[in-house]
Amino acid sequence: MEVLAEQVWRGRAAAHAAAVAQVSADRLERRVAGRTHPVDDFLWEYYAFRPAQLARWHPGPGVGLEGAAERASWGSYLVDGSGTAYLDVPGFLARRGRTVEFVRSLLAATLARPGRFGCFGLHEWAMVYRADDEAVRHGGWPLRLGRAGTDEVVESHTLACSHVDAYRFFTPDALPRNTLTPTREGQLSDEQPGCLHAGMDLYKWCCKLAPAVPSDLTLQAFRLARDVRELDMRAAPYDLRGLGYTPVRIETAEGKAEYVEAQRAFTQRSNALRRELVAALDGLAQTSR
């Protein structure tokens, strides 16, 4: 086991906390003011990992922290007689082993597949297709093409959403229009790296497996998810120009090309993080031996 000197790891922890403070400042200000944001609030609300949790720095398995006796009160840590703290890998795996196995299998299966790039972000359109005003998720923002124009885009395209947690928010009228029927049970066979939501979910998996995942990797996954969410909403039917977001007009050929170009770049970024997360989970298994 590598043991980090107290000065070293506390410096890394402070730098991580400062970075999280920077990316979460707007969220905290909005909560105080009672305001919402359709892009930035998503990561905090849907994935339910609070800024204070993200700000806690964890080195991951196989790394001891000198002079870290306070971590005895943190979940999944052990502290030896010298005050060195380290991840309680056997204890963590006893509690979360099935989740580790599932996530590792899902990541490997996703990496083994080519990305598909023909969905054009239409999942957000399917979530408002023929919906009542009360059912529109971001009802405070107008639809760029109006209600009839939005429905027409859905009806003139082929829906091909492969992500269960996007598909389940489709309106009842949109569900049968999708060429796929993604399910929780079929997630291992359905998930593919071109999917924006699968890329955002890397942040979810890092959060669910804290503190066994290095916090540096978790923060990278957060930043990826934030960038992906911006594209997700720029390509959505909502008019968010008041927030400074230029629409990606996926109803046009030019907009489709713009979307696919960004989607391919995100696939490269997400696959790189998938490989890092697989390596971290493999390291967890090796440390437990």
Q: What is the pLDDT of residues 64-83, one digit of tens each?
A: 999 999 999 998 999 999 99
Residue 96 scores a pLDDT above 50: yes
pLDDT (average), residues 253-282: 97
Q: CB 222: neighbour CB atoms within 10 A?
A: 23
Q: How many domains does the chain have?
A: 1
pLDDT grade for 135, boundaries at 50, 70 and 90: confident
Q: What is the pLDDT of residue 27?
A: 92
Q: What is the pLDDT of residue 103?
A: 97
pLDDT (average), residues 112-129: 96
- Percent of the chain past pLDDT 90, that is, above it, reads 90
Q: What torsion, rounded to 10 degrees, do the Cα atoms 136, 128, 30, 270 define?
A: 150
Higher pLDDT: 273 or 135? It is: 273
260 Cα distance to chain centroid: 19
Residue 93 scores a pLDDT above 50: yes
Q: What is the pLDDT of residue 288?
A: 58
pTM here is: 0.94
Whole-angstrom distance, CA of residue 238 vs CA of residue 150: 9
Residue 134 scores a pLDDT above 90: no
- Percent of the chain past pLDDT 70, that is, above it, reads 99
pLDDT (average), residues 214-221: 97
pLDDT grade for 284, boundaries at 50, 70 and 90: confident
Higher pLDDT: 203 or 137? It is: 203
Higher pLDDT: 281 or 135? It is: 281
Q: What is the pLDDT of residue 289?
A: 47
Whole-angstrom distance, CA of residue 152 vs CA of residue 273: 37
Q: What pLDDT, in 10s, does the model give residues 155-197?
A: 999 999 999 999 999 999 999 999 999 999 999 999 999 999 9
- Domain hosting residue 101, numbered range: 2-287
